Amino acid sequence: SAVISQKPSRDICQRGTSLTIQCQVDSQVTMMFWYRQQPGQSLTLIATANQGSEATYESGFVIDKFPISRPNLTFSTLTVSNMSPEDSSIYLCSVVSGGNEKLFFGSGTQLSVL
């Protein structure tokens, strides 16, 4: 399995500001994913980030709000832009490793927006 480091682990931000979350993997992976986990709700896929191409966003998520970078096969960032209290959530980075079906997660970023 892949070891995924994510930071910051938590942050408290002011409305209208932006936060960039970093995700580092200990091995090269083709596909990286960003999820949002809101209390009492299912994990929701925000976007898929492949190295060398634009991220693919799921319905309800747009690049202006959640820009993603994927500069190489071990690193990605997710920015939460122009934040509002509704963006308060846990954001998780994940990768596919050891076979197409197995998804592994970082420890998550707990974001609170005041």
Partner 1 sequence: QKEVEQDPGPLSVPEGAIVSLNCTYSNSAFQYFMWYRQYSRKGPELLMYTYSSGNKEDGRFTAQVDKSSKYISLFIRDSQPSDSATYLCAMKEGFSGGYNKLIFGAGTRLAVHP
25 contacts partner 1 (rule: CB under 8 A): no
The Cα-based distances of 81 to 49, 65, 110 in angstroms read 17, 5, 15
* Interaction pattern, residues 58-87, with partner 1; x per rule: CB under 8 A: ------------------------------
Per CB under 8 A, residues contacting partner 1 are 1, 4, 6, 9, 31, 33, 40-43, 45, 48, 92, 94, 96, 100-108, 110
